[in-house]
A and B are shown apart, each in its own frame.
Chain A
Amino acid sequence: MSLLATLARLEAVRSGHAEPLATVRHRHLSDRPMVLVPLAAAGEAGAPLAVLLGTERAAPRLHLVPQPLNRSQRFEFLAGFAAELVPYLESYGAEVEQIERTEKDPETGEKTQAFRELCADAPQLIVPNSGSVQHLALLGRSTRFRRTAEDPDPGPYPAPTRVPLLGRWLTHLTERAQVPGSSLLLPMTGLLARHWATGQSHLEDQHLGAQLAWHQPPFGIGGAELATRMETERDAAGQLLHPPAGPATDPAFDARVLAPAITRHDTALAALAALATAPGDQARLRVKQTAEELHAALLQVLLPTWQDVWRGLDLLRALPPAAHLAERWEGDRWSYTGHRDRLAAGEPPQPKQDDAVTAARKLAQREREQARLDVHEALDDPLAMAEHRLSGEAFAGVVTEVVPEYDTSGRSPKPRPLLVIRTTDRPHADQGRKVYRANHSSAQEAVIVGSDPAEGTVTVRVLNGMGRKKEPEPGSLPDPGERIVLTLFELTPRQSAPLPEPDDTPWTHGGPPGGSDRSPTATEEWE
């Protein structure tokens, strides 16, 4: 944690409520996000128990697995979940814009103009916390290879058609969530933590209710006290008043509410089955009742978190959007469009494991996006820039002097003026280091030629961005008295180096990947 973030937390401890860590909103928020609160069945990897989802705050829809060990009930759940989620995801695929791109002909190497479709908007999933993202990734992994009745070899337990499709979407979204700054799938705890500091630790912030307690705590109660209540307060039956946001449930809920309700429902189902020849209304009613009980019990533990996620969205929407959001969201739109196209082209599901080249490409993408995100945030938000100023990687100050000087080594003299900047910052101003002018209309580089920490001045020589003439273009240089920000890090992140095609994987990395690993068979079953 940086000192600035620590300071904000310390302030939050004293004030009793959350303190800002950003002056603008650094993540894209959709006008119509899909809020999704999943619950996992305890003790089994990626086994779903329930999900509450919807795009309407007032109309959450609950899907649940009445008996987590029952395969066909789980398939029913997944089919229902998919029927709700997949149409939402696909609904963004229709409206497109044509983007003109220069493409290289792979044969001739000639450059040609080509048009590519880019979806005008993309879906957005908001989940309570990072555990929910992991749960969705496991769901994606366990369902995307499922065979369906439409497969040539459907296997003994064919799944409904949409189930593998759901798995592929969930895999794509959870993979994309690993890319820094991406916004297709976001956990609310992470969103809030990026924008506000609470007076508790990161670990405690993982509890969405406790984290939100620091926002608008009621009069007379500090955030710490309210957060503790959120974490621990229980009713007379020993149930948490504010259940955790999942995906795991509280063990006391499992033991005292869920397990008995499941048992009652199982018993009712068994009783109904026993009467198969002459099903009685009584038995049917009992099944319906017990199903409703289960439904009510799960809705009760999910609703507080559902409300919390929407409250978090309210808080975030009150922040003005950062300037670079649209640019980064375009990356998400390309990601969405690409997946849409792969599905349409009938490509196989994502493999279990990346091959060497794919892994390296993804790592390069993440590093590139991390660098881009850092730059965007610093440019968009003075609080983010303050982090760099504090670490000596940027400085802000007032220009006290502009000394016109020229480079006369070439045929025609070029402007190489000196700027003297007065600053209270303490940059790592080693001579010869390049600096970059932030928030200027065009890119401009300079080099540090001297600094005087006692006087609080740094002198830099401007290298470019002044036009082609002997005298700098008007407005290309700051005037004396103007405040400027210079960074010691590049403001246009570097491209990643090219990597070979997977089929050209070299001997050092095991050679080209074999075919067998890339199309895993769907023999796995939940038991």
Chain B
Amino acid sequence: MNVLTYGQAEPVARRLRDLRGQAPQRSLDARALAALAANPGCRRRAVLDAAGVDKGAVAERLGHPAPFGQSPFAITRGNVFEARLKADGYAALLEPLRRLLGAPPEGAELAVPDLLPRSAPATRAERTAQALAEAAADPGRWTLLDHPMFRLTVAGSPAYLEPDAVVVHGGRCTVVEIKSFPIIDGSADPAKVGAAARQAAVYVLALQETAAGLAGTTADQSPYATDEFPGSPELSVLLVCPRDFTNRPTATAVDVRRELATTRRQLARLTGIEQLLDALPPGTSFDLAPDQAGSPTRPVAALTESVESVPAAYSPDCLSTCELGFHCRAQARCADAVEQLGRGVRGELGSLRTVTAALTAATSQGPQADSEAAARLAHAAALRAEALAANGADGAGR
């Protein structure tokens, strides 16, 4: 399951590049990697993400633009909060760190090495690894790595990951994740905390690999193990958020072991991308072929055909997590698929996969493809008809 060991990474990377075409690669950041867990059964998403395709642009060309966006107010607020945290030698950040990590005591020096923020990612990653090694070598020292950069190989390509901050002390490090949603009376939106935990888990994984790499070995893959190399990360991260209705920070430790295990599994699955690529018909491409002005010239029909050639696993959750969600919904509706009603629906319907098949099973007496599911549906339909007839309510309220 080790994501760093690849035999023949080159051909895969080239095949993915071919799929993407001339467009610049959408680099896999931590948010994108964390999102892999949202629908791991979707081959379409796996291929497009691995190839670094701009799914939003594809969706727009297909006529179903993704309605995602961030309010300028939210962006401003997030930036203001982070800037506040880092002002005055990270004073606001130190207070919660002190409370949760024990120290550094008031007045003690916090080393903040220069991590060459303006350099190329590869250089930054090298510099971060070096800074991490130095910081971990002296257990007594407190070091804050501000926007460090870690390299993680994903499906044969390097991904560069940039956590908000990493604190190093006692030879170990802790990922700091800064978010602008509030913690009110000690609790926060569980969906947002979950997303933050998954994102932070990607950083922890990258740190595990980096620390193991510095030690000249590989990280332990068991979800219950904690690596003990110099610079190995804690399996809890620090989530720093505004407290209550103020702009003052509060921090809380979040255990990311479960998310770490999830991330590891998803990355391991991405290494199996080659099998998915093998299944693609020759000539498949997600290239939008933009003209000089950047407008796509690729015929919609050809693009649609390429997208359709990779099977999707649509569920309504996709509408809020994947740029292609609206396209896949339209497709699921066209195909009469029961998934358009939600993931949970299928559990009741056995092997009946279309709305028509399910409704036919509910109303007809003849032999059925899935007799048990059909019998249950027919029973349900009879009860429903009886209840509606009893009240003469069919059509009420229309």
B7 close to A (CB within 8 Å): no
A203 close to B (CB within 8 Å): yes
Expressed in whole angstroms, the Cα–Cα distance for A423 and B359 within the complex equals 24
Q: Which residues of A contact B76 (CB under 8 A)?
A: 43
In the complex the two chains form, is B319's CB within 8 Å of A204's CB? yes
In the complex the two chains form, is B340's CB within 8 Å of A383's CB? no
In the complex the two chains form, is B397's CB within 8 Å of A251's CB? no
B107 close to A (CB within 8 Å): no
In the complex the two chains form, is A20's CB within 8 Å of B184's CB? no
In the complex the two chains form, is B319's CB within 8 Å of A526's CB? no
A252 close to B (CB within 8 Å): yes
Interface residues of A in 1-37 (CB under 8 A from B): 1, 3-4, 6-11, 13-14, 17-18, 20, 23-24
B70 close to A (CB within 8 Å): yes
Given contacts A1-B344, A13-B355, A200-B340, contact A386 B73 (CB under 8 A): no
A259 close to B (CB within 8 Å): yes
Expressed in whole angstroms, the Cα–Cα distance for A250 and B396 within the complex equals 34
Which of A24, A42, A47, A318 has the most C-beta atoms of chain B within 10 angstroms of its own C-beta? A42
In the complex the two chains form, is B246's CB within 8 Å of A527's CB? yes
Q: Which residues of B contact A204 (CB under 8 A)?
A: 316, 319
Please pick, from A43, A231, A383, A390, the residue contacting B379 in the complex, using a CB distance under 8 A: A390
**Distance between B335 CB and nearest chain A CB, rounded to angstroms:** 12
**Distance between B134 CB and nearest chain A CB, rounded to angstroms:** 37
In the complex the two chains form, is A383's CB within 8 Å of B72's CB? no
Please pick, from A20, A224, A232, the residue contacting B388 in the complex, using a CB distance under 8 A: A20
Interface residues of B in 339-398 (CB under 8 A from A): 340-342, 344-345, 348-349, 355-356, 358-359, 362, 376-377, 379-384, 386-388, 390-391, 393-398
Size category of the B interface is 35 or more
In the complex the two chains form, is A254's CB within 8 Å of B340's CB? no
Q: Which residues of A contact B391 (CB under 8 A)?
A: 23-24, 381-383
A38 close to B (CB within 8 Å): no
**Distance between B95 CB and nearest chain A CB, rounded to angstroms:** 16
**Distance between A178 CB and nearest chain B CB, rounded to angstroms:** 15
Expressed in whole angstroms, the Cα–Cα distance for A300 and B73 within the complex equals 20
B317 close to A (CB within 8 Å): yes
B242 close to A (CB within 8 Å): yes
Measured CB to CB, the nearest residue on chain B to A248 is B71
**Distance between A228 CB and nearest chain B CB, rounded to angstroms:** 8
A221 close to B (CB within 8 Å): no
**Distance between A70 CB and nearest chain B CB, rounded to angstroms:** 13
Given contacts A4-B383, A43-B76, A254-B72, contact A526 B355 (CB under 8 A): no
A525 close to B (CB within 8 Å): yes
**Distance between B91 CB and nearest chain A CB, rounded to angstroms:** 17
In the complex the two chains form, is B398's CB within 8 Å of A17's CB? yes
Q: How many residues of A contact B (CB 8 A)?
A: 68
Measured CB to CB, the nearest residue on chain A to B392 is A23
Please pick, from A1, A45, A202, A424, the residue contacting B245 in the complex, using a CB distance under 8 A: A45
In the complex the two chains form, is B341's CB within 8 Å of A42's CB? no
In the complex the two chains form, is A14's CB within 8 Å of B355's CB? yes
Expressed in whole angstroms, the Cα–Cα distance for A426 and B379 within the complex equals 10
Measured CB to CB, the nearest residue on chain B to A425 is B383
Expressed in whole angstroms, the Cα–Cα distance for A167 and B204 within the complex equals 41
In the complex the two chains form, is A382's CB within 8 Å of B390's CB? yes
Q: Which residues of A contact B362 (CB under 8 A)?
A: 7, 10
In the complex the two chains form, is A10's CB within 8 Å of B244's CB? no
Which of B356, B362, B397 has the most C-beta atoms of chain A within 10 angstroms of its own C-beta? B397
Q: Which residues of B contact A232 (CB under 8 A)?
A: 64-65, 67, 326
A68 close to B (CB within 8 Å): yes
Interface residues of A in 350-406 (CB under 8 A from B): 352-353, 381-383, 385-386, 389-390
Measured CB to CB, the nearest residue on chain A to B387 is A382
Q: Which residues of B contact A426 (CB under 8 A)?
A: 379
Q: Which residues of B contact A201 (CB under 8 A)?
A: 316, 340-342
Measured CB to CB, the nearest residue on chain B to A22 is B393
Q: Which residues of B contact A6 (CB under 8 A)?
A: 341, 345, 348-349
Given contacts A6-B341, A23-B393, contact A383 B73 (CB under 8 A): no
Q: Which residues of A contact B74 (CB under 8 A)?
A: 42-43, 251
Expressed in whole angstroms, the Cα–Cα distance for A24 and B72 within the complex equals 45
In the complex the two chains form, is B247's CB within 8 Å of A7's CB? no
Interface residues of A in 420-445 (CB under 8 A from B): 424-426
**Distance between A443 CB and nearest chain B CB, rounded to angstroms:** 23
In the complex the two chains form, is A196's CB within 8 Å of B340's CB? no
**Distance between A386 CB and nearest chain B CB, rounded to angstroms:** 4
A and B contact pairs by CB, cutoff 8 A, 23 listed:
A1-B345, A4-B380, A4-B383, A8-B384, A9-B341, A9-B345, A10-B341, A10-B359, A17-B398, A20-B395, A20-B397, A23-B388, A42-B71, A42-B74, A42-B77, A43-B74, A142-B245, A228-B326, A232-B65, A251-B71, A382-B387, A385-B387, A525-B246
The 10 closest A-B pairs by CB, nearest first: A43-B74, A42-B71, A251-B69, A43-B77, A382-B387, A23-B391, A201-B316, A23-B393, A45-B182, A254-B71
Q: A9-B341, A254-B72, A318-B397 are in contact. List 11 more A-B contacts (CB 8 A).
A: A7-B362, A10-B362, A44-B77, A141-B185, A200-B341, A215-B398, A228-B326, A352-B185, A386-B386, A390-B383, A526-B245
